[in-house]
């Protein structure tokens, strides 16, 4: 297949976004797009390029005092009658336009067009962000080549609608189980209904007062919610077991142990098992590269409500922010789209930050 990422396309972040969107790359099917990205980067003389699986990494080695990372995932969720892309006025529609091939276009455009940035830059184009963590390209690189991730600061090019979203929340999932005793529903008094026992779990959730936490001027809103209930045996049996899945989104001032302890406190007296736990990331706004990046954006950051791969960098001691042109509210929607103006504005911002100018 002829590589659609031609020099003319690479020179224009908008054309590049569309070309990337038109390359099918649903999670675990990123080989073709990774091949094209790798081919482009290996031809750039100022970059050293490496690959692990379907994750491509390229970096400058200019001896700068600091190293920054620009990272974006190549995969998308499955298509929903929104492939390939369509252009309607100032809006580019298609699967991945917002989440996050417009952000990937930033990194790829800068990688080929900026030979002497003010920082050394590592560019990541990674696989399988949209599915289970075990497949995530950054996770796989952290296991196989942790030195690739070393840096002083990182920007995840996730959709933020052109706003800097600092750090991220942590997320915890737990199963709260209520127990009972089976009986025939015609003689219910001979049993104990585990589904009825779930009422107390739900009452505690309904009464729960979530914190609002401000860190470095960024507000993070916590939340604890039931997201799934499973129970019942058959239409004529009093159930002896009911499971309530709870999702706790917590501010990054709590580590994983503190989040788990808090959930166990809320559901004291119940059988509880933690099934998933991913700590968040503090804003890290005192980093010099972060301060210069915020100056280039020219607007105050906000706290990231949700978990992103910035947490992987934070766990390694690398402060990280989220910044991209797409609207996160449109991610995974059938009518997912991105504004052409947002793509151009964001590209100009990154060029200002890294010490170059972009034609407008």
The model's pLDDT over 173-185, given as tens digits with 9 standing for 90+, comes to 999 999 999 999 9
Instruction: For residue 111, give the nearest of 119, 101, 121 by alpha carbon.
Output: 121
pLDDT reading at 360 higher than 80: no
pLDDT of residue 269: 97
Q: CA–CA separation, 71 vs 55, rounded Å? A: 11
pLDDT of residue 359: 37
Question: Is the bond into 280 cis (omega within 30 degrees of 0)?
Answer: no
pLDDT in tens, 44-59: 999 999 999 999 999 9
pLDDT reading at 357 higher than 80: no
**Res. 284 pLDDT band, cuts 50 70 90:** confident
pLDDT reading at 356 higher than 70: no
What percent of the chain is modeled with pLDDT above 70?
98
Asked whether 174 and 249 are in contact (CB, 8 A), the reply is no
**Cβ count near 220 (within 10 Å):** 27
Q: CA–CA separation, 267 vs 159, rounded Å? A: 35
Q: CA–CA separation, 254 vs 317, rounded Å? A: 16
pLDDT in tens, 125-141: 999 999 988 999 999 99
Give the angle subtended at the CA of 15 by the CAs of 12 and 17, to the nearest 5°. Answer: 105
Calculate mean pLDDT across residues 226-252.
Answer: 97
**Residues labelled as active-site residues:** 75, 129
pLDDT in tens, 307-325: 999 999 999 999 999 999 9
pLDDT of residue 358: 39
Partners of 218 in beta bridges: 215
pLDDT reading at 1 higher than 90: no
Q: Which domains does the chain have, with CATH numbers?
A: 7-168+281-354 (3.40.630.10), 173-278 (3.30.70.360)
pLDDT in tens, 187-202: 999 999 999 999 999 9
State the burial class of residue 206 (Cβ atoms within 10 Å of its Cβ: 0-12, 13-18, 19+).
exposed
Calculate mean pLDDT across residues 82-93.
Answer: 97
Give the angle subtended at the CA of 54 by the CAs of 49 and 55, to the nearest 5°. Answer: 50
pLDDT of residue 183: 96
Q: In what order do the strands lie in the sheet with 86-88?
A: 86-88, 91-93, 337-339
Model pTM score: 0.89
The 3-class secondary structure across 191-232, one letter per residue, is CECHHHHHHHHHHHHHHCCCCEEEECCEEEECEEEEEEEEEC
pLDDT reading at 223 higher than 60: yes
pLDDT in tens, 14-68: 999 999 999 999 999 999 999 999 999 999 999 999 999 999 999 999 999 999 9
């Amino acid at each position: 297949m002829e590589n659609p990422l031609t020099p003319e396309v690479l020179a224009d972040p908008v054309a590049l976004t569309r070309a990337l969107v038109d390359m099918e790359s649903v999670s675990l099917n990123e080989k073709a797009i990774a091949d094209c990205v790798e081919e482009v980067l290996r031809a750039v003389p100022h970059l050293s390029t490496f690959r692990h699986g379907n994750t491509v990494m390229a970096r400058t080695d200019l001896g700068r005092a600091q190293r920054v990372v620009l990272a974006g995932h190549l995969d998308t969720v499955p298509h929903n009658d929104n492939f390939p892309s369509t252009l309607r006025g100032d809006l580019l529609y298609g699967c991945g336009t917002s989440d996050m091939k417009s952000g990937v276009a930033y990194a790829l455009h800068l990688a080929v067009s900026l030979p002497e940035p003010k920082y050394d830059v590592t560019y990541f184009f990674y696989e399988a962000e949209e599915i289970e963590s075990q497949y995530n390209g950054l996770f796989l690189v952290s296991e196989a080549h942790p030195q690739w991730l070393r840096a002083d600061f990182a920007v995840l090019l996730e959709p933020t609608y052109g706003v800097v979203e600092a750090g991220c929340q942590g997320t915890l999932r737990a199963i709260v189980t209520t127990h009972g005793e089976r009986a025939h529903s015609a003689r219910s008094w001979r049993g104990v209904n585990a589904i009825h026992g779930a009422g107390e779990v739900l009452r505690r959730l309904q009464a729960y007062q979530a914190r609002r936490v401000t860190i470095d001027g960024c507000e993070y809103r916590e939340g604890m919610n039931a997201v799934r209930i499973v129970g019942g045996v058959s239409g004529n049996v009093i159930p002896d077991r009911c499971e309530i899945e709870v999702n706790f989104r917590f501010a990054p001032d709590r580590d994983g142990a503190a989040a788990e302890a808090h959930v166990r406190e809320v559901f004291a007296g119940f059988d509880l098992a933690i099934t998933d736990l991913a700590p968040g990331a503090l804003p890290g706004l005192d980093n010099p590269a972060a301060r210069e990046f915020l100056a280039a954006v020219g607007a105050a950051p906000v706290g990231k409500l949700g978990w992103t791969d910035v947490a992987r960098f934070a766990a390694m001691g690398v402060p990280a922010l989220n910044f991209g042109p797409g609207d996160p509210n449109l991610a995974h929607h059938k009518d997912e789209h991105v504004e052409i103006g947002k793509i151009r504005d964001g590209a100009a911002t990154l060029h200002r930050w890294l010490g170059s100018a972009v034609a407008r």
